[in-house]
Structure 1
Amino acid sequence: MDMQATLALPFFGAEHQAVLRQAEDWLSALPAWSAPQGRLELDRACRELAARMGQAGLLAHAVADPAQAGARIDTRAVCLLRDRLAQQGALFDFVFAMQGLGSAAISLDGSPSQRERYLGPTREGRYVAAFALSEPQAGSDVAALACTARRDGDTYVLDGTKTWISNGGIADYYVVFAREPGSAGAKGISAFIVDAGTPGLEVSERIDVISPHPLATLAFSACRVDGGQRLGEPGQGFKLAMRTLDIFRVSVGAAALGFSRRALAEATRYALEREMFGKTLADFQLSQARLSQMATLTDASALLVYRAAWARDAGQGSPRAAAMAKLAATEHAQQVVDAALQMHGGLGVREGHIMERLYRDVRALRIYEGATEVQHLIIGRDLLREARERLAPAPPRAVPIPGPSRAIPNQEQI
């Protein structure tokens, strides 16, 4: 099932056909692109891609219109674009997704002035956004974050460390989550917009990973932020972080789906071309069985991802559906890419080959924005909650007491 066949599913409308055409037109007109080499070239490429996507109007599908308070992001459009951009290259998907994730908290709880100042330039690709939530000891357990925000008159003073921050080092601003000193758990956390270059904010380390993209550790030391930079009400940051992640969690599955599609296409083409023992690789039943498995896993991912995206847009979304979509699509993508690389043999592990790149690109999706293990917990707990509600004994029914009847004499008649 290719993307056009996917769009024929009952989850989509004509507007989604237009979104995909917009992406195809942009990609076909894009100048020749090669993977950036080195950190400086990588940083430059990300900013250039953000600018190009903004000029083409693609970022308008991930970043809310600043003039429309409370505007919803079309989850299906975001997923379609991540699906298609991931097929083009991991960096394309990364830039698009991070502009949305980095600015979503402002879309949800930003004041009119905050929305105007940040969303417009982010939507146009002039600003690069970043979402600063994770810490050395607070990844999946968000409520364990230790970065503090101490109130001091009309300002807040931030102290602490954030790490694994995508776009760290190139972002124009960071949405930072920190807690009131002395608070614990999910309570007391607030969100702040911190401009790059704010005194007390330092990019303390650039982190290199197997699928290159800008990633950094941020250090806050007596970093003073104006009270007007706080997002929403104080102490509501945990809920805001969860609402932000909820918008984009399903779309991680869409990116994984894009990697699966590209791997399957590469494996199919290679099987038809590769000659072996007087035949092509495609002539062997073992190859056909492997391609069959890859195609089935890819289609299963597509159905789960776009079901969850449709449900969210229709106001029927659930944590279980989103978790199933991310879990299945990312795990399936790992299997599909691995099988495709195996079919390529030694060529698949050659540095710079498309399969070698896909193998590196797909791995992190099983970790970020909720690791596979966390998705299992979400699904399992929801299933058990539903079962308990279904199996709980019904409350006793009230039995009506009959009134006086001619057939039953009352006390006075006896």
Structure 2
Amino acid sequence: MPAFSLEPDQVARCAELRTLAAERLRPLAEKGEPGHVNRPLVAELGRLGLLDRLFSSGALDLCLMRESLAHSCTEAETALALQGLGAHPVHAHGTPAQRDRWLPGVREGAVIAAFALSEPGAGSDAAALSLRADPDHDPAGAPSAEADGPGRWRLTGEKCWISNAPEADFYTVFARTTPDAGARGVTAFLVPADRPGLTGTGLDMLSPHPIGALRFDAVPVTADDVLGEPDRGFKVAMGTLNLFRPSVGAFALGMAQAALDATLAHTARRDAFGGKLKDLQTVAHQVAEMALRTEAARLMVYAAATAYDEGADGVPKRAAMAKLLATETAQYVVDAAVQLHGARALHRGHLLEHLYREVRAPRVYEGASEVQRGIIAKELYATLEARP
């Protein structure tokens, strides 16, 4: 089964992607400005056909792409993933007009997408969104649309920690259309970046990819901008996250494998205490533990992705488990690699210095580790209660 043993053609594609990332994508990444969208890099992802694969293949292929790219160029991996995260709701829930307008540019790498869910007061608690979608009224106070006509709203509030903001060309925005309704009162909107009243600022974060805050000052949206159905946007968000959470784990795996490969090479050649570092039992056991945890997490990621592709039961639990284990594992592996390399790994520009900064964020975004544990427990108890 693919969950446990990749087919030869999959192994070959992964090797090809690692080479492409090292030879064609990393040079473009190195020319980019930290904290800003690297449009030449995104365009190259489009030319290579990788962005098109976001919408033409399954969760396992997405995981293999993200893991392979992350091994050789984390910036390319992140650029690809952010295009997928921002545009998947349009692909899965958009109208034909919405898909025709935006997805060709996303596939080509000419249009930048973003997923705008988190808020200053609603990060992990996604159901507590406060960005308001108020019914639009004319100056006389009457509704601006007929009762049987298209809906119109004004978005008012803030979003924060939004990847690709404020430089994206459009945002998948989740706003509250029904007050005090929790997850049931949220609607997903496709909001072009040039809508009046929408502004944004960049945030200076630990990770080098672009992250910003958005402010909505009565931004106009209509029924033509709705993704899916009004008040059903939480389903759009969770469906997207169920697909991408295992692949966040794959991103982490790529970094863990890169750190492990660097550690194997370093400990095999580094002289210490009359021999090589690898000859010290404590070092050898540490490297074995790094490899063990990485492989265990990889199997869980592949299994979760395969379950998603096959429409198996328990996808939310599997996705949460995969994301949780892989991101926590990558943090451990990268930290251990830094320790075994010593001070050289802390030099600005060293591979491990880069990975050390990159590896921390995945334990927080798309649901922090604590949220994943909550999802897992909820699903376990729901299964128990459903038994006869």
Shorter-chain TM-score above 0.5: yes
Deviation at 1:187, TM superposition (A): 2.2
Q: Counterpart of 1:26?
A: 20
How does the TM-score come out when normalised to structure 2?
0.90
Q: How does 1:29-68 map to 2 (within 5 A)?
A: 29-30=23-24, 33=27, 36=30, 40=33, 42-43=35-36, 46-62=38-54, 64=55
May I ask how many residue pairs the two structures share in their alignment?
Answer: 374
Tell me, yes or no, if structure 1 residue 83 matches structure 2 residue 67.
Answer: yes
**Alpha-carbon distance between aligned partners in 2 of 1:332 and 1:309, rounded to the nearest angstrom:** 18
Aligned-partner Cα distance in 2 for 1:376–1:385:
14
Code of the aligned partner of 1:114: Q
Measured after TM superposition, the shift of residue 183 of structure 1 is: 4.3
Q: CA deviation at 1:308?
A: 0.8
- Superposed CA offset, 1:54-79 (max 9, x none): 110011121x26xxxxxxx4101100
What is the CA–CA distance in structure 2 between the aligned matches of 1:42 and 1:137, rounded to whole Å?
A: 23
Residue type matched to 2:60 in 1? R
Residue 338 of structure 2: aligned partner: 341
The alpha carbon displacement at 1:197 in A equals: 1.8
Q: Answer yes or no: is 1:246 the counterpart of 2:245.
A: no
Indicate the RMSD between aligned Cα atoms, in angstroms. 2.2
Q: State the Cα deviation string for residues 316-354 of structure 1 (Å, max 9, x = none).
A: 152221111111111111111111100011111122211
Q: Which residue of 2 aligns with 1:145?
A: 129
SS in 2 for 1:368: coil
For 1:275 and 1:14, the matched residues in 2 are separated by: 37
Tell me which of 258, 280, 290 is aligned to 1:294: 290
Whose relative contact order is higher, 1 or 2, with alpha carbons under 8 Å and at least 6 apart? 2
Structure 2 gaps, min length 5: 137-144
CA contact (8 A) 2:127 2:234 kept: yes
2:169 paired residue number: 172
Task: Report if the CA contact (8 A) 1:190-1:230 is conserved.
Answer: yes
Letter in 2 for 1:111: T
Contact 2:28 2:40 in 1 (8 A): no
Contact 1:11 1:307 in 2 (8 A): no
Asked if 1:93 corresponds to 2:77, the answer is yes
User: Residue 41 and residue 322 in structure 1: after superposition, are their counterparts in 2 closer, same or farther (change >3 A)?
Assistant: closer
Picking from 354, 358, 361, the partner of 1:361 is: 358
User: Partner of 2:175: helix, strand, or coil?
Assistant: strand
* Residue of 202, 212, 215 corresponding to 1:219: 215
Aligned partners of 1:11 and 1:133: how far apart in 2?
A: 35
After the TM superposition, list the runs of 4 or more consecutive aligned residues in structure 1 that deviate by more than 4 angstroms: 7-15, 34-38
**3-state secondary structure, aligned to 2:135:** strand
Deviates more, 1:309-318 or 1:328-337: 309-318
- 2:280 equivalent to 1:284: yes
Percent identical residues: 43
For the Cα contact (< 8 Å) 1:79–1:250, is it kept in 2?
Answer: yes
Structure 1: segments with no counterpart, 5+ residues: 1-6, 66-72, 393-414
Contact 2:85–2:115 at 8 Å: present in 1 too? yes
> In 1, distance between residues paired with 2:35 and 2:373?
34
Evaluate the alpha carbon distance shift between residue 372 and residue 9 of structure 1 in structure 2; reply closer, same or farther with a 3 A threshold: closer
Query: What is aligned with 2:255?
Result: 259
Of 367, 370, 387, the match for 1:370: 367
326-335 vs 152-161, greater mean Cα deviation: 152-161
How far apart are the structure 2 equivalents of 1:87 and 1:177? 32
Greater C-alpha radius of gyration: 1
Give the secondary-structure state (helix, strand or coil) at the position aligned to 1:233.
Answer: coil
- For residues 26 and 210 of structure 2, the distance between their equivalents in structure 1, rounded to whole angstroms, comes to 22
The residue type equivalent to 2:206 in the other structure is I
1:306 paired to 2:302:
yes
- What is the rounded CA distance, in whole Å, between the counterparts of 2:188 and 2:219 in structure 1? 14
Q: CA deviation at 1:34?
A: 7.3
Q: 1:184, CA displacement in angstroms?
A: 2.8
Partners in 2 of 1:355 and 1:47 — Cα distance? Answer: 25
Distance 1:61 1:14, change over 3 A: farther
Q: Secondary structure of 1:33's match? A: helix
What residue number does 1:403 align with? none
- Does the aligned pair in 1 maintain the 2:25–2:73 contact within 8 Å? no
| Offset, 1:225 | 2.3
Partner of 2:160: 163
Taking structure 1 as the reference length, the TM-score comes to 0.85
SS in 1 for 2:366: coil
2-structure distance, mates of 1:164, 1:34: 25
Q: Counterparts of 2:84 and 2:226 in 1: how far apart (Å)?
A: 19
Residue 220 (structure 1) shift: 0.4
SS at match of 1:139: coil
Aligned partners of 1:138, 1:160: CA distance in 2, in Å?
A: 12
Residue 240 of structure 1, CA deviation: 0.9
Answering whether residue 102 of structure 2 is matched by residue 118 of structure 1, we say yes
